[in-house]
Amino acid sequence: MTVSKAWEWNKVSEPIWLQPSEEIYFVAHKWKEKNIKKVLDFGCGLGRHSIYFAKQGFHVSAFDLSEEATEHLKAWAERENLSIDIKNADMMHLPYDDNSFDAIFSYHVISHTDSVGIKKIISEISRVLKVGGEIFITLGSKESGTFKEAGYPRLDENTVIKTDEGPEKGVPHFCADLDDIMNLFSKFNIESIRHTEECYYSGKRQSSKHYFISANLRTK
């Protein structure tokens, strides 16, 4: 199992990392209608989703491996006068009790491991989530250019490691197909799985494909 590696946020300049993703608006509305209260922002980065959830009235906990990221979120939450429980932690070993959360939101995070690590991470998600609790999680796709065409070195049959200069240098990327997802999330009731492609960003044509998974925990 690979060792978790934090993003180097000092190498990030794009404003997108401070803006909520499009998906969170639907997810937050859905979870409010279901009377969900306690939400974990799983791998919060600079905190764009933690801040949004807190402004919508959720009780938010957030963690990230990067101390730079969590310190940024702490300062942001203080400026906004928002109460968010923020921790520095590794997604392989979550610092939360069993059955702590009604829902977990993880956006472009849990893919940063290998084939052994992904099973450990999903086990930790299941541990801290209440039975019946909701997840919204993204996973990298084996159809993405990162996996198929970029020529990155392979750690195993499902995992590449990025070698480009930038915040993700040295960070592993586990990529899945639909069968992988159904096996990995066998303890969950799957509500929907979407497969999307970002085909133009950062000023050029690219192919970045992800799965978007909505589900609830059926059993421990």
Per-residue pLDDT at 122: 98
Per-residue pLDDT at 149: 78
Query: At residue 112, does pLDDT exceed 90?
Result: yes
Per-residue pLDDT at 165: 82
Domains in the chain: boundaries: 16-217
- For the four alpha carbons of 156, 158, 162 and 167, in that order, the dihedral sign comes to negative
Percent of the chain with pLDDT over 70: 100
| Closest CA relative to residue 68, chosen from 49, 48, 47, 53 | 47
Contact criterion met (CB below 8 Å) for 90 and 109: no
| Closest CA relative to residue 2, chosen from 210, 176, 174 | 174
Per-residue pLDDT at 124: 98
Query: At residue 207, does pLDDT exceed 90?
Result: no
Q: What tens digit of pLDDT does each residue of 8-40 get?
A: 998 888 899 999 999 999 999 999 999 999 999
Per-residue pLDDT at 199: 85
**CATH class entry, domain 16-217:** alpha beta
Which has the higher per-residue pLDDT, 203 or 24? 24
Per-residue pLDDT at 200: 85
Output the average pLDDT for the chain: 95
Say how far residue 114 (Cα) sits from the centre of its chain: 15
Per-residue pLDDT at 108: 96
Per-residue pLDDT at 188: 98
**Phi and psi at residue 96, to the nearest 5°:** -130, 150
154 pairs with which residues across the strands?
160
Instruction: Note every long-range contact of 97-100, with CB atoms under 8 Å and residues 24 or more positions apart, other chains counting.
Output: 97/128, 98/127, 98/128, 99/128, 99/129, 99/130, 99/131, 100/38, 100/40, 100/61, 100/128, 100/129, 100/130
Predicted confidence band of residue 148 (pLDDT cuts 50, 70, 90): confident
The torsion of the CA quartet 20, 24, 25, 27, rounded to 10 degrees, works out to -170
Predicted confidence band of residue 205 (pLDDT cuts 50, 70, 90): confident
Per-residue pLDDT at 139: 97
